[in-house]
């Protein structure tokens, strides 16, 4: 089974081909990603219209490149998977329409993939993780703790009430004059900073639910920066280190509560604890989750850094997971700017969930 995956929900255009192996794992035959960082950097964030136009210009070329690298023609595919949301609707439409066109021309089944589900299932592509597992899904647009019980079967145990973790990193970077994208810039600056210099709050720590709230932390960073102004390079490094340390403490605390709720709801321990999404590339957060897992006696799975950020391989793999269960979509399936993984819960308040 070989599936093409197309990803255009934000500021990366991506196309990949993944093959289902006999042991039930996945083999990435091609994985092409083109970032739009340079186009959005002058604005300090993603501009939806610029993103959509860039997707239109390059998506066909990336699909052709991925198929050529995989050594396949489109008719040799077993399915076409395209991210149908959630995300910036202009970009989502570009990739979904490209996928529909290929599916229509070749007669292959179309799988409309939830971008968040693709992140959630990446652990099964990278490490063949068994269900059920506990996951921290965190990026610039979403922060959730989920019990992953099966393909399409998710319980949301906690979510952000305001800013996503990645969004908080990006806004902190912009506040401190660091370049876009903000997450890697803050992480790099934090390496030479003193994490104890600024006493920043740890919102929601100790609460019985597994939710996050980061707007207050972001405001505290702004106040601290104003009091220390004019900021030296060391001041910026210390602020970044203090901010990142607060995030790490919050993540550890929220995951402990998430694990408790997982056990209460499912009556068993998870097969693994997984981190996914762009924030999963942050080494300090990975380290915190490794400590948490060591204390709890659980296996930790963190996909390779390239599979944490948006990519076509995760879309293709989610397509494989659904295709082998017979879950395919009609060609009139709609793009969705919002698409919660757990429809039983109220929508998360961040901008992509």
Give me the pLDDT at residue 45, please.
Answer: 86
The structure's pTM equals: 0.94
Phi/psi of residue 115, nearest 5 degrees: -55, -40
Domain boundaries, given as residue ranges, for the chain: 2-122+306-323, 131-303
Q: Which of 305, 311, 348, 276 is nearest to 9 (CA)?
A: 311
Question: What pLDDT, on a 0 to 100 scale, did the predictor assign at position 228?
Answer: 97
Q: Looking at residue 351, what is its pLDDT?
A: 39
- pLDDT value of residue 344: 81
> Which two three-digit tokens encode residue 216?
């207050």
Domain 131-303 in the same topology as domain 2-122+306-323: yes
Cis, peptide link before residue 86, omega less than 30° from 0: yes
Residue 346 confidence (pLDDT)? 54
The mean pLDDT values, 10 residues at a time, for the chain of 353 residues are 97 97 94 94 91 97 98 98 97 98 98 97 95 94 95 97 94 94 95 98 95 96 97 98 98 97 97 94 94 96 93 98 98 96 66 42
Note the pLDDT of residue 182: 92
Architecture of domain 131-303: 2-Layer Sandwich (3.30)
pLDDT value of position 353: 44
- DSSP three-state, residue 206: coil
Beta carbons within 8 Å of 226's beta carbon, 6+ residues apart: none
pLDDT given for residue 352 in this prediction: 44
The fold for domain 2-122+306-323 equals Nucleotidyltransferase; domain 5 (3.30.420)
pLDDT of residue 28: 98
């Amino acid at each position: 089974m070989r599936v093409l995956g197309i990803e255009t929900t934000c500021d990366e255009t991506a196309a990949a081909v993944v093959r289902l192996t006999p042991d039930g794992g996945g083999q990435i035959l091609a994985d092409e990603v083109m970032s739009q960082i340079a186009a959005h950097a002058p604005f300090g964030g993603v501009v939806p219209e610029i993103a959509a136009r860039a997707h239109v210009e390059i998506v066909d070329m990336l699909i052709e490149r991925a198929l050529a690298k995989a050594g396949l023609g489109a008719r040799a595919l077993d399915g076409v998977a395209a991210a149908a949301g959630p995300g910036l609707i202009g970009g989502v439409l570009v990739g979904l329409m490209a996928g529909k066109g290929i599916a229509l021309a070749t007669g292959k089944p179309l799988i409309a993939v939830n971008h968040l589900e693709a992140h959630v299932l990446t652990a099964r592509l990278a490490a063949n993780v068994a269900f059920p597992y506990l996951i921290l899904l965190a990026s610039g647009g979403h922060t959730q703790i989920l019990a992953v019980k099966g393909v399409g079967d998710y319980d949301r145990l906690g979510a952000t009430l305001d800013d996503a973790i990645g969004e908080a990193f990006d806004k902190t970077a912009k506040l401190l004059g660091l370049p876009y994208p903000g997450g890697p810039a803050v992480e790099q600056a934090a390496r030479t900073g003193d994490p104890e210099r600024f006493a920043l709050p740890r919102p929601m720590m100790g609460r019985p639910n597994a939710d996050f709230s980061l707007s207050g932390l972001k405001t505290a960073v702004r106040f601290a920066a104003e009091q220390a102004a004019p900021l030296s390079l060391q001041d910026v490094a210390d602020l970044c280190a203090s901010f990142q340390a607060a995030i790490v403490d919050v993540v550890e605390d929220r995951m402990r509560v998430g694990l408790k709720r997982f056990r209460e709801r499912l009556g068993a321990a998870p097969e693994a604890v997984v981190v996914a999404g762009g924030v999963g590339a942050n080494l300090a957060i990975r380290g915190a989750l490794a400590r948490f897992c060591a204390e709890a006696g659980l296996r930790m799975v963190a996909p390779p850094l390239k599979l944490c950020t948006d990519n076509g391989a995760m879309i293709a793999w989610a397509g494989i997971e659904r295709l082998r269960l017979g879950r395919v979509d009609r060609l009139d399936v709609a793009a969705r700017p919002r698409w919660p993984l757990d429809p039983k819960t109220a929508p998360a308040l961040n901008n992509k969930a």
